[in-house]
Chains A and B, each alone.
Chain A
Amino acid sequence: MVGKNHSIEGEVEEQGQPMQRRYVVRPKFCQFCSDKNLIIDYKISDTLRKFISEDGRIRPRRQTGTCARHQRILAREIKRARHLALLPFSGGTWEEITH
């Protein structure tokens, strides 16, 4: 008789640990205030693209550091660009949907 010890290894669940909030460094200045040459315009969709998330949503101020005034203008111009199909409304790129 060969004694076997079946030890159940692995699958140690790490649930008891407290959730750790990751610290994300956020920009503390408004890009449009510091750079007056950077204009917010619906025709320049490349600039606006930095301020939308991957799925097309407008990124919040707490992520981008934009001041209240410029965030307002930014939101307006993004919506104008969306109407003209320069920016997506939501969801991934639509090639994925159609193909």
Chain B
Amino acid sequence: MRQYEMVVIIHPGLDEDAVNQALDKIKLWISNAGGNISSQEIWGKRRLAYPIQKQSEGLYYLLNLEMNPASNMELERNLRILEPVMRYSIIAKV
């Protein structure tokens, strides 16, 4: 198990239900892979420094999680496919 820090930027045009649905999906992937989320931070709507998918804002969510390094690849692949996620980053903590 390893500590990771994950930030996802979700499309700002979505309604609350769709955002929560996407987040639940991400959390389910993590728990299915044997990881667990230790804490969650909601940064909320923030201005982007440059446009992503023609959007000037994004919804930022930070997750501190613990998972096997082997399941990282699968999680990344899933995130890339998930439509509401504009950008993500998974960083291993030192």
Contacts and interface: CB of A to CB of B under 8 A. Distances in A.
Interface of A: 42-43, 80, 82-89, 94, 98
B50 A84 contact: no
Contacts of B51: 94, 98
Contacts of A43: 7, 62
Contact of B91 (A80, A85, A87, A98): A80
Given A43-B62, A83-B89, A88 B7 contact: no
Nearest to A81: B49
Contact residues of B: prevailing secondary structure: strand
A84 B56 CA distance: 13
Interface residues of B, number: 15
B50 A88 contact: yes
Interface of B: 7, 9, 46, 48-52, 56, 58, 60, 62, 87, 89, 91
A86 B9 CA distance: 11
| 4 residue pairs, one from A and one from B, having the closest CB atoms | A85-B48, A88-B49, A85-B49, A94-B50
B62 A84 contact: no
Contacts of A80: 89, 91
Given A43-B62, A94-B50, A94-B51, A84 B87 contact: yes
A57 to B, nearest CB: 14
A41 to B, nearest CB: 10
Contacts of A88: 49-50
Contacts of A98: 51, 56
Contacts of B9: 84-85
